Amino acid sequence: MSTEPLRIGDHLVSPDHYIDGARVPGQRSFELFSPIDQRVLGHVAEGDEEHVEAAIQAAQRAFASWSALTAAQRLPCLERFADEIGRRAQALCAVESTDAGVLLSRMQHGVVPRAMLNIRWFARHALELQDRPIDTEQARHIVRHDPAGVTVIITPWNAPLMLSTWKLGPALAAGNTCVLKPPEWAPLTCSLLADAADAAGLPPGVFNVVQGTGATTGARLVADPRVARVSFTGSVPTARRIAQAAGANLVPCSLELGGKSPFIVLEDADLDAAAATATLMYRNAGQVCLAGTRLLVHEQVADEFVARMRPLVDQLVIGDPREEATEVGPIIHPRQVERVQGFVDRAVAGGAKLLWGGGRHAFGALYFSPTLVTNLQQDDEIVQNEVFGPVLTLQTFGHDDEAVALANGTDYGLGGVCYGETAHATAVAERVRTGFIWVNSFGIRDLAAPFGGIKRSGIGREGGEWSFEFFCDVKDIVLPKKPFRASFAHR
């Protein structure tokens, strides 16, 4: 079935899949709308069994030649890929802002430059993964990072461009070929990413995009025995289904999942700085997995902290994310708005107190007011489970041990924030069980550093050599230093 290109402002986006270097239409399609105003944007091709089969076959064929290249030989092509992303910056910004409701200013100043860096940095870092010798008394070991094979990448709707390139960068640089399944609620920048790859001259089949739902298209991809790796960012329930399907074929999975991160404010914290950073947790309408959504504040400074945070929240500009002044945009989908509202309503019904917010904002149907809930128990649903909206909780503590107990008292362990005198905050941070934690800061990321969570927040680490450890098969070639004579004694 032929589908018409989608027009987003001055930009046209193909609604078709990208398989083996060509656009491929689908027999079925699904409707796409903008969370900004719920305006229908058009229809996007939905992948079926035939598309999944074609994409995996294309990736298999391309793997033989792509994996045979050295990192230095792949580098120019991936550098061009990063350049082509930059050439499409205006389109990528406009499209993702409209498609996913992301702030246009954030796309311009943060996401697109980061997407380019994701491809370029990993392509260059792969050069450092040459054969590494390890010398022992008995032998010289040559450690290689070999390409693993066909890689399936599944990304979420809150940051489709950034997270797609975050995974594609190391996967392609390692010599793998990829099939990307974009989020069905916000697939359009992944389609533009295919245009960039095509213009950069990535060989056919090295990078494929198959659109569709997780329950059908995604499920077929992750269950295919020809797949060598699965990299997923999203929810815990979906991750369980992916792990079960991939596990049947013993396929390694990298799972970056939800967060319920603590934001600890110690009694010796700079309250102005802490309050300003806490207000940032409402960005992207709270649809950020690593946000510190549980405010844990020392009882001696809790009232003052709230008093300093409230005017900052009141000043937040809620509105159309395409406007320069906007600081909080819409929630992605009506189902997600209902989910967020349900968490708040149940908390209030159970005795929680609203300090501000609590419901939909007057700007539009998918806009939710920044909300702070207090008078909570540690086992309350809203404390324990990820809301994924502009909703924070507030609990107080009397000493460091209590702060640590509250921080560690959920099934999640992605990130965290700790404000206080540097040595004091660092000592507390060391006791918080998360994959990472920021001291007197938030959001500082370096591609060389590990990223990922513990407990229900995921399996594995992304970034730097950790990405290559996942996307590669690590092999040890052993060269004995003395003549070897076979003997049962060597067993």
Q: Read off the pLDDT of residues 444-471 as tens digits, 9 standing for 90 and up.
A: 999 999 999 999 999 999 999 999 999 9
Q: How far apart are CA 453 and CA 396, in angstroms?
A: 25
pLDDT band per the 50, 70, 90 thresholds, residue 490: low
Q: Which percentage of the chain shows pLDDT scores above 70? A: 99
Give the distance from CA 219 to its chain's centroid.
19
Lowest mean pLDDT segment, chosen from 117-131, 322-336, 338-352: 117-131
Instruction: Please state the rounded mean pLDDT for residues 432-436.
Output: 97
Same domain, 194 and 277: no
Are residues 278 and 192 both part of a single domain? no
| CATH code for position 342 | 3.40.309.10
Residue 2 pLDDT exceeds 70: no
Residue 445 lies in a domain: no
User: For 171-175, 212-216, 377-381, which range has the lowest pLDDT when averaged over its residues?
Assistant: 212-216
Q: Are residues 395 and 357 in the same domain?
A: yes
Residue 292 has pLDDT above 80, yes or no: yes
Question: What does the pLDDT read at residue 488?
Answer: 74
- Could you tell me if 149 and 45 lie in one domain? yes
Residue 1 pLDDT class (50, 70, 90 cuts): low
Whether residue 233 sits in one domain with residue 218: yes
Q: Does some domain include residue 129?
A: yes
**Would you state the pLDDT for residue 188?**
98
Is 198 contained in some domain?
yes
Same domain? For 299 and 159 the reply is no
Domain span at residue 14 reads: 6-257+457-476
Verify that 241 and 306 share a domain, yes or no: no
- Say if CB 332 and CB 186 are below 8 A apart: yes
C-alpha–C-alpha distance, residues 55 and 18, integer Å:
8
Cα–Cα nearest to 188, from 312, 98, 66: 98
Q: Would you state the pLDDT for residue 172? A: 98
Instruction: Kindly state whether residues 152 and 240 are assigned to the same domain.
Output: yes
Which residue matches tokens 């796409």? Answer: 32
**Average pLDDT, integer, range 291-295:** 98
Residue 180 and residue 149 share a domain = yes
CATH number at residue 89: 3.40.605.10
486 belongs to a structural domain: no
pLDDT at 491 exceeding the cut of 60:
no
pLDDT > 90 in the chain, percent: 96
Q: How sure is the predictor about 85, in pLDDT bands with cuts at 50, 70 and 90? A: very high
Take residue 271 and report the two structure tokens written for it. Answer: 């309250």
Which pTM was predicted?
0.95
Provide the number of structural domains found in the chain: 2
Is 430 in the same domain as 386?
Answer: yes
Residue 397 covered by a domain: yes
Read off the pLDDT band of 487 (50, 70, 90): confident
Same domain, 195 and 241: yes
Q: What is the pLDDT of residue 119?
A: 98
- pLDDT at position 489 is 62
Distance CA 188, CA 332 (A): 14
In this structure, is residue 35 part of a structural domain? yes
Q: Catalytic residue, from 256, 327, 386, 462: name it.
A: 256
Q: Indicate whether 482 belongs to any domain.
A: no
Of the residues 93, 178, 190, 289, only one is catalytic, namely 289
pLDDT given at position 129: 85
Q: Which of 410, 439, 468 is the last residue of a domain?
A: 439
- Interval 303-307 mean pLDDT: 98
**Any domain includes 446:** no
pLDDT in tens, 228-281: 999 999 999 999 999 999 999 999 999 999 999 999 999 999 999 999 999 999
| Model confidence at 355: pLDDT above 90 | yes
Residue 4 is predicted with a pLDDT of: 86
- Amino acid identity of 49? E
State yes or no: is 289 an active-site residue: yes
Whether 190 sits among the annotated catalytic residues: the reply is no
Q: Are residues 217 and 279 located together in one domain of the fold?
A: no
Residue 428 has pLDDT above 60, yes or no: yes
